[in-house]
A and B are shown apart, each in its own frame.
Chain A
Amino acid sequence: MGVFAAFVAQGFRQQAAYKVEGWMGIASGLIWFVLFAGLWTALLRDDPVALERQMRYVVATRLLADLSLLPTWEIAEKFRMGDVGLELIKPVPLPVRIMGDFLGRSLFRALRTLPVYVLIWLALGLAAPGAADVLLFLGSALLGWAISASFQVSLTLIALWTTQFNEAENLWELLSSLFSGEFIPLYYLPAWIGALAAYLPFAGTFFVPSAILAGTLTGPELWRAIGLQVLWALAGCGILAGMWHAGQRKLTMQGG
């Protein structure tokens, strides 16, 4: 655990060095916020209560978008260039290093943009969330990060068998865009699709934490959703460990 924490701290410090990217990330987040704020204002103009709730939801998803940005292309590049060979001689398994590094970078990005979204929250006059909601949101957001990171890094490890394979990641992104709730909360999807999506891993990455902060997920439904998040996070980490273990023996190095 100490080693993992060291990689988290290293990733956090590393992300701090990318200053231009940092400002551009904030600008990008604001453009997306403008899009979703405009869209939902147009859709819910006649229902102020639902609109207020949806604005809280949108702010939460924008913050989570910064948290869940994972530079998996860097791993793909390691495979393409043959650098992954160096990973095999290191004492810490590659997935542990990657997950620690990515978590540190995600945390830095989210903390950097947090003040912007707090200001937006205040500017829109949204009701302040309770302390319990904030704690549940943070816990759920971290579980969502674990689901997203473990599955996406696992998909990148397919390159251990095929050298380069982007399509699985593209498919994950497509399904995520439809069923994660990043763009449309599950309760605004057609009923049967929303019900199905609630059981998929994608819901844990955006919908559950955002709905907690929006105040639309409460009571037994909330605990059931968090329970599912824990199960998907464990499943994702299990798949990642299994793929790394099996894939090392299949690895074909590029280069001499």
Chain B
Amino acid sequence: MTVGELRHNLSCFWRMAMAKARSQMQYRVNFIAHLITMVMTYGGQFAALWWLTQRFTTVGGWRFAEIVLLYALAILAWGFALTLFWSLVGFEDHVRMGNFDRALLRPINPLLTVLSNQSPIAGMGQFVFSIAAFLFAVQVAGIRLTAVKLGYLLLTALGGALILGAALLCVATLAFWTTRTYTFYWSLVYPARQLINYPVSIYHRAIQFVLTVLLPFAFINYFPAHVLLDRVRELPMPFLAWATPLMGVVSITAAYGFWKFGTRRYTSTGN
């Protein structure tokens, strides 16, 4: 793809995504209700975590504020992932109804057409909440912020979003064979995301291996949190703490390869 083609693709994607954002903002009450629900859900999770750490002091050696940091990193990455990739969860509708034909006929990358069905303001609530949680964690856990740490935080959020996006892209690709995405998301990806709300070190070694190598969600928050907490040396392989951006790129590249393979399997349902 040339630079000109890339610019054309991204320009079309941005226009379609903004049109979607404008249409979503027509339903203001729904949007606000969604925000309130999200705040209540995360608030509930924090309350449960607070009660647990009140009773048991630490979870696998991690204090309340440190686990809040894990939450903050996970929510921040999820905010970016929602903004860019959430429409993939509903991709089964495109396959079942044959709407993917439209994406294939447009003069831009078909994946960008699918992604542009998602409003770019979808992750707004997550951003606000994660920043608040992060500031709280910084304050209570006594994190010393430096320019390097802040820069790496941003890279971590983007890398984490790419890892989550890769998972969603794989789920969407499965629709070419199974015409299902919602089931795979809610049954596999959603609960797997909840695993990283706690330090990965509390799980059995086999699960730690899965979360590091096969489904590398540990890179979204657990490993980079060691950088922010100045605990990199505690890791058996310290370089993992710095590997989130690389893991994000590797994950999304592999998932895109799977997607390209899947699109060759697509058979339209006709008109």
Of the listed stretches B132-140, B184-192, B222-230, B257-265, name the one at the interface; the rest are far from the partner chain. Answer: B184-192
Within 8 A of A (CB), among B171-230: 178, 180, 183-184, 186-188, 190-192, 194-195, 198, 202-204, 207
Q: Do B178 and A174 touch (CB < 8 A)?
A: no
- Partner of A41 from the list B41, B52, B202 (CB cut-off 8 Å) is B202
A92 to B33, CA, bound (A): 34
- Decide yes or no: A28 and B202 within 8 Å by CB, A43-B52, A167-B33, A174-B41 being known contacts: no
Residue contact A34 to B188, C-beta cutoff 8 Å: no
A215 within 8 A of B: no
Chain A residues with Cβ under 8 A from B55's Cβ?
Answer: 188-190
**Interchain CB contact under 8 A, B37 and A167:** yes
| Whole-angstrom distance between the Cβ of A148 and the nearest chain B Cβ | 17
CA distance A174 to B39 in the complex (A): 11
Name B179's closest neighbour in chain A (CB-CB).
A20
> B203 and A28: CB pair below 8 A?
no
Interface status of A86 (Cβ within 8 A of chain B): no
Give A36-61 interface residues, CB cut-off 8 Å to B.
Answer: 38-39, 41-43
Binary B-proximity of A185-204 (CB < 8 A = 1, otherwise 0): 00011100100000000000
Q: Are B40 and A174 in contact (CB under 8 A)?
A: yes
Other-chain residue from B51, B178, B186, B192 in contact with A190 (beta carbon distance below 8 A)? B51
Q: Is B60 an interface residue (CB 8 A)?
A: yes
* Interchain CB contact under 8 A, B194 and A35: yes
Smallest Cβ distance from A210 to chain B, in angstroms?
A: 16
Q: Specify the chain B residue showing the minimal Cβ separation from A187.
A: B55
Q: Is the CB of A190 within 8 A of B54?
A: yes
A25-B187, A28-B186, A32-B191 in contact; A39/B51 too (CB < 8 A)? no
Does B107 interact with chain A (Cβ within 8 Å)?
no
* A135 contacts the other chain (CB 8 A): no
Tell yes or no: A246 within 8 A of B by CB.
no
Contact A31–B188 (Cβ < 8 Å): yes
For residue B33, give the distance in angstroms from its CB to the closest CB of chain A: 6
Q: Nearest residue in A to B204 (C-beta to C-beta)?
A: A38
The reply to whether B51 and A38 form a contact with Cβ atoms under 8 Å apart is no
Contact (Cβ within 8 A) A34 B207: yes
Q: A38-B203, A39-B198 are in contact. Are A28 and B54 (CB under 8 A)?
A: no
Residue A170 at the chain B interface, CB threshold 8 Å: yes
Which chain B positions have C-beta within 8 A of A42?
59-60, 198, 202
B238 at the A interface (CB under 8 A):
no
CA distance A166 to B29 in the complex (A): 12
Chain B stretch 32-81: residues in CB contact (< 8 A) with chain A = 33, 36-37, 40-41, 44-45, 47-48, 51-52, 54-56, 59-60
A28-B191 in contact given A35-B198, A38-B204 (Cβ < 8 Å): yes
CB proximity to A under 8 Å, residues B232-266: none
* B48 touching A183, Cβ below 8 Å: yes
Contact B184 A24 (CB under 8 A): yes
**Of A27, A39, A166, A183, which is within 8 A of B187 by CB?**
A27
Residue of A nearest to B180 (CB): A20
- Check A31–B52 contact: CB distance below 8 A: no
Interface of chain A residues 188 through 233 with chain B (CB within 8 A)? 188-190, 193
Known: A42-B202, A178-B44. 8 other contacts (CB 8 A): A24-B184, A31-B192, A31-B194, A35-B191, A39-B198, A178-B48, A184-B48, A184-B52
Task: Mark B residues whose CB is within 8 Å of A.
Answer: 33, 36-37, 40-41, 44-45, 47-48, 51-52, 54-56, 59-60, 178, 180, 183-184, 186-188, 190-192, 194-195, 198, 202-204, 207
The 10 closest A-B pairs by CB, nearest first: A24-B187, A42-B202, A28-B187, A31-B191, A42-B60, A38-B203, A170-B37, A38-B202, A43-B56, A174-B44
Interchain residue pairs with CB less than 8 A apart (5): A35-B195, A42-B60, A178-B44, A190-B54, A193-B51
